[in-house]
């Protein structure tokens, strides 16, 4: 006889199937696929509902053969179709709301309230809300959106009303081949740069802003200048005040997730609250709602980041199931968490933080328990150590493809550091959270309250700050869509699929062969002839990589941003360059080369004949010549800011922004430039054009993402780079 408890469990899943039925998992997957396919194919994604028809028909045939009723299956299929459609429509509505704010370009007077403050190498990054834009013709625009203002460092504080004369541009839904996730999630429609920011007055703060400001104040007043930004980032997930080199070392070590308020942080806070309320003998339901209220408030102070929302929902699902005495399935719970986050904003699907958070949680659930049981069979391995190893490895292996695709690298030492560092930092975080909360209420006692946690934090992070982890990185390739095969293989290896050893091994082996072949095809160098790859991002980050034979050259149209250059080199697996060309004046070239040398060795720097840079660098040969070879390609300077490449009987002209020329330019088979210039266009009369910035009606890196140019037999072909 089936007990009432077993009946309840079978509503969620049944253990006698090859893949157990988990309705919430399927609903979350349908909603996510609706979002993804709408982004890829627009309204055509709605035809994806037709895919449910053959799946439902096949299931009905199986039901008929087993003589079971099919009404429930048909209803659930209809629900899946509805949820899939809802996912597609939700993204449509969010994108439409973002694009409904008017586009603004050019010089404007910007007025707004400071909501967030970050730092960059050259100054502050201010996020402004309640903005007013006054254009040059006097028109006032008050969009219900935010603006990111890049300006020199100042004494501006959160809550102040500021104004500035700034060059304003508008963020699009897609830029440089990717969905503009950070702008869409933050409601940031505009980007502006200014040389000075003025304070117009104070403005009222929201509760969350006020608490965040108070926490920041007590931390920065009570801790030293190196420890305070780390403590603030750990508590509130805002790493904007951290030194970029320090933050990068945490990333290289694979432990930067401590700065994203997620399951680790929410779990610790929930554990502290539960322990306290249990000591006070509080009713379990009162305990649940009290903990939920505190966690929701904490997530609000952290800006409701996707990682905090995901962790919050999962924690509350577990707590609710425990309080109700219900059977609990972890895979369904993480699916519910993902669905809840996507219902709030479907753009979270494209957020790297959300993807990493979800992948880590799902990996621990799907693989962690199974690996832990396998390691328990190993003699002399303590059970707790085996369980910790299983959890760390599961999270690392499932985030591996995402890290490679989004950041260009993954840490070799991540498993070891997470195993040793995270338990230590968890204890430090617990003490820091309690004392920071008390300090926010009693700011006069902050120095005493935070002294011990601050010292412990300083000791805990010292090894991360002192050691160099960059030498132990996996980089130079990416998964892209092949990640589906990778995750499919991991899922088949888990105990979530009830297959015998032989068919399981055959299925996993087949997926491994497909993945290997796909990775070789995607990342292998099978192109013939010389190639030029165009990469760009906001600012002076127009970079071209020329590969000719076994040689690699870098062409830059200005001084590149160090962080972007490092990421590009990691993604492309570049540690040395045979030559560098900077299309800029001597001072900018002199400043650009040291940035490149931070991340790669350089054999030669090519400058125009007569340049004063000859002999300026000890480790790099400076070649002063108007015409020189770059591998099999002949290059020729036309002034400081124009380079002409002759390859396979074709002519490619590369020009920096505002390039000037005194001699006639050759006819160009291809023109590569920052933006369209009519005089320059007429001077070289190109057959084809590629621009780095957004240019209506023209091929651009801004719209398509990185592009690859190949010369072969006098023919120029342009394709998207991997």
312-350 pLDDT, tens per residue? 877 887 777 667 666 567 788 788 888 888 988 899 899
Report whether pLDDT(449) > 50.
Answer: yes
Q: Where are the extended beta strands (E) located within 419-542?
A: 473-475, 530-535
**Average pLDDT of the residues in 589-608:** 92
The answer to the question of residue 285 being in a domain is yes
Say whether both 691 and 708 belong to one domain: yes
Q: Which residue has the tokens 């412990």?
A: 456
Q: What is the mean pLDDT of the chain?
A: 86
Do 666 and 536 share a structural domain?
A: yes
Q: Answer whether residue 94 is part of any domain.
A: yes
| pLDDT at residue 159 greater than cutoff 50 | yes
Q: What residues form DSSP beta bridges with 709? A: 532, 718
Please tell me the distance from the alpha carbon of residue 308 to that of residue 296, in angstroms, as a whole number. Answer: 9
504: Cα separation from own chain's centroid: 34
Please tell me the predicted confidence (pLDDT) of residue 200: 84
Residues β-bridged to residue 576:
601
* Joined tokens for residue 622: 């400076």
> Would you list the DSSP string of 151-180?
E------TTEEEEEEEEEEE--SEETTEE-
Q: Token pair for residue 520?
A: 């070789």
pLDDT in tens, 49-84: 887 777 677 666 766 666 666 667 777 888 889 999
703, two tokens: 């719209």
Answer yes or no: do 43 and 94 share one domain: yes
* Integer angstrom CA distances of residue 676 from 76, 133, 512, 669: 54, 26, 47, 16
* Distance from C-alpha of 654 to C-alpha of 644, rounded to nearest angstrom: 6
Indicate whether 658 belongs to any domain. yes
Domain with 699 in it? 530-720
Is 62 among the domain residues? Answer: yes
- Residues 185, 333, single domain; the answer is no
Q: What is the pLDDT of residues 489-518, one digit of tens each?
A: 999 988 888 888 888 889 999 999 999 999
Pair (563, 711) in one structural domain: yes
Q: What is the mean pLDDT of residues 10-24?
A: 63
Q: Is residue 175 part of a domain?
A: yes
pLDDT > 60? residue 1:
no
CB neighbour burial string for 375-395, b if at least 16 within 10 angstroms, e if fewer:
beeeeeeeeeebbbbbbbbbb
- Report whether 653 contacts 665 (CB < 8 A): yes
CB 322 within 8 A of CB 328: yes
Res. 18: pLDDT tops 80 = no
Band of residue 11 on the pLDDT scale cut at 50, 70, 90: very low
User: Residue range 352-370: average pLDDT?
Assistant: 87
- pLDDT score for 104: 92
Residue (of 95, 113, 53) closest to 181 by Cα position: 95
Percent of the chain with pLDDT over 90: 39
Q: Where are the beta strands (DSSP E) in 566-657?
A: 576-577, 579-582, 601-602, 604-607, 621-624, 627-630, 633-637, 642-647, 650-655
Would you place residue 254 in the very low, low, confident or very high pLDDT band (cuts 50, 70, 90)?
A: confident
Q: Which of 452, 473, 494 is the last residue of a domain?
A: 473
* SS3 letters across 83-98: HHHHHHHHHHHHHHHH
Question: In the beta sheet, which residues pair with residue 671?
Answer: 653, 689
**DSSP strands (E only) in 538-630:** 543-548, 551-556, 576-577, 579-582, 601-602, 604-607, 621-624, 627-630
How many domains does the chain fold into? 6
Q: How far is CA 156 from the centre of its chain?
A: 28
The mean per-residue pLDDT over the stretch 120-135 comes to: 86
Q: Are 78 and 64 in the same domain? A: yes
Query: Across residues 455-460, what is the average pLDDT?
Result: 92
DSSP label at 15?
A: T
pLDDT in tens, 166-191: 999 999 999 998 899 989 988 999 99
Lowest average pLDDT, out of 354-358, 398-402, 446-450, 485-489, goes to 354-358
Annotate 649-700 with three-state secondary structure: CEEEEEECCCCCCCCCCCCCCEEEECCCCHHHHHHHCCCEEEECCCCCCCEE
Enumerate the β-bridge partners of residue 167: 107, 193
Whether 422 is in a domain gets the answer yes
CA dist 288 and 480 (Å) reads: 41
d(CA 34, CA 39): 9
Residue 502 domain-assigned (yes or no): yes
Nearest to 393 by CA among 374, 424, 368, 413: 368
CB count in 10 Å sphere of residue 595: 15
Q: Which of 77, 99, 121 marks a domain boundary?
A: 99
Q: How far apart are CA 347 and CA 181, in angstroms?
A: 7
At 235, the pLDDT band (50, 70, 90 cuts) reads very high
On whether residue 360 sits in a domain, the answer given is: no
Which of 99, 116, 151 marks a domain boundary? 99
**Bridge partners, 135 (sequence order):** 108
């Amino acid at each position: 006889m089936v007990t009432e408890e077993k009946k309840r469990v079978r509503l969620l899943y049944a253990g006698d199937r090859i893949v157990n039925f988990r309705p919430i998992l399927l609903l979350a997957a349908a909603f996510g696929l609706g979002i993804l396919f709408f982004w890829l194919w627009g309204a055509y994604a709605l035809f994806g509902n037709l895919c449910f028809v053959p799946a439902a028909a096949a299931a009905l045939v199986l039901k008929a053969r087993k003589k079971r009723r099919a009404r429930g299956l048909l209803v659930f299929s209809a629900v899946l179709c509805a949820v899939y459609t809802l996912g597609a429509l939700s993204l449509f509505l969010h994108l439409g709301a973002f694009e409904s704010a008017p586009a603004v370009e050019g010089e404007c007077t910007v007025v707004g309230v400071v909501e967030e403050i970050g730092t960059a190498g050259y100054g502050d990054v201010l996020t402004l809300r309640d903005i007013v834009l006054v254009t040059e013709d006097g028109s006032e625009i008050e969009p219900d959106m935010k603006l990111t203002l890049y300006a020199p460092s100042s004494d501006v504080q959160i809550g102040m009303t500021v104004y500035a004369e700034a060059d304003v541009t508008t963020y699009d839904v897609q830029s440089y081949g990717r969905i503009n996730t950070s702008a869409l999630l933050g409601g940031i429609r505009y980007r502006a740069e200014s040389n000075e920011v003025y304070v117009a007055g104070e403005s009222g703060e929201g509760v969350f802003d006020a608490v965040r400001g108070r926490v920041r104040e007590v931390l920065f007043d009570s801790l030293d200048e190196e420890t305070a930004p780390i403590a603030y980032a750990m508590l509130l997930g805002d790493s904007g005040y951290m030194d970029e080199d320090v933050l990068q070392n945490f990333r290289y070590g694979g432990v930067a997730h401590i700065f994203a308020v997620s399951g680790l942080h929410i779990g610790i806070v929930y554990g502290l609250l539960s322990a306290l309320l249990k000591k006070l003998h509080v009713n379990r339901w009162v305990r649940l709602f009290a903990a939920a209220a505190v966690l929701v408030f904490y997530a609000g102070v952290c800006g409701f980041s996707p990682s905090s929302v995901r962790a919050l929902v999962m924690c509350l699902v577990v707590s609710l199931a425990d309080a109700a005495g219900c059977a609990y399935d972890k895979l369904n719970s993480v699916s519910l968490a993902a669905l809840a986050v996507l219902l709030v904003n479907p753009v979270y699907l494209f957020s790297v933080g959300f993807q990493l958070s979800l992948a880590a949680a799902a990996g621990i659930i799907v693989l962690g328990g199974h690996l832990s049981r396998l390691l328990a069979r190993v003699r002399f391995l303590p059970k707790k150590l085996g369980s910790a190893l299983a959890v760390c490895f599961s999270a690392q292996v499932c985030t591996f493809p995402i890290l490679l695709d989004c950041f260009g690298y993954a840490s070799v030492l991540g498993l070891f550091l997470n195993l040793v560092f995270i338990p230590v930092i968890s204890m430090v975080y617990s003490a820091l959270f309690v004392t920071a909360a008390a300090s926010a209420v009693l700011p006069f006692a902050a120095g005493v309250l935070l002294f011990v946690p601050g010292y412990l934090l300083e000791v805990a992070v010292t090894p991360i700050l002192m050691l160099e982890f960059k030498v132990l990185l996996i980089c130079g390739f990416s998964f892209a869509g092949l990640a589906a095969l990778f995750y499919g293989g991991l899922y088949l290896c888990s105990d979530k699929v009830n297959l015998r050893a032989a068919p399981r091994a055959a299925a996993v082996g087949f997926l491994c062969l497909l993945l290997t072949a796909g990775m070789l095809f995607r990342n292998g160098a099978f192109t013939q002839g010389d190639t030029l790859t165009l990469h760009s991002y906001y600012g002076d980050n127009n970079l071209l990589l020329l590969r000719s034979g076994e040689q690699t050259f870098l062409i830059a149209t200005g001084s590149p941003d160090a962080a972007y250059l490092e990421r590009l080199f990691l993604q492309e697996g570049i540690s040395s360059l045979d030559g560098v060309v900077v299309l800029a004046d001597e001072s900018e070239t002199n400043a650009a080369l040291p940035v490149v040398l931070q991340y790669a060795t350089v054999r030669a720097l090519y400058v125009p004949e007569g340049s004063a840079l000859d002999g300026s660098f000890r480790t790099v040969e400076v070649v002063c010549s108007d015409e020189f070879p770059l591998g099999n390609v002949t290059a020729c300077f036309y002034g400081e800011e124009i380079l002409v490449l002759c390859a396979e009987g074709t002519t490619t002209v590369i020009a920096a922004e505002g390039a000037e020329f005194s001699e006639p330019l050759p006819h160009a088979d291809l023109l590569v430039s920052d933006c369209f210039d009519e005089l320059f266009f007429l001077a070289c009369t190109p057959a084809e054009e590629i621009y780095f910035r957004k240019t209506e009606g023209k091929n651009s890196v801004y719209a398509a993402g990185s592009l690859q140019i190949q010369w072969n037999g006098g023919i120029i072909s342009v394709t998207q780079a991997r």
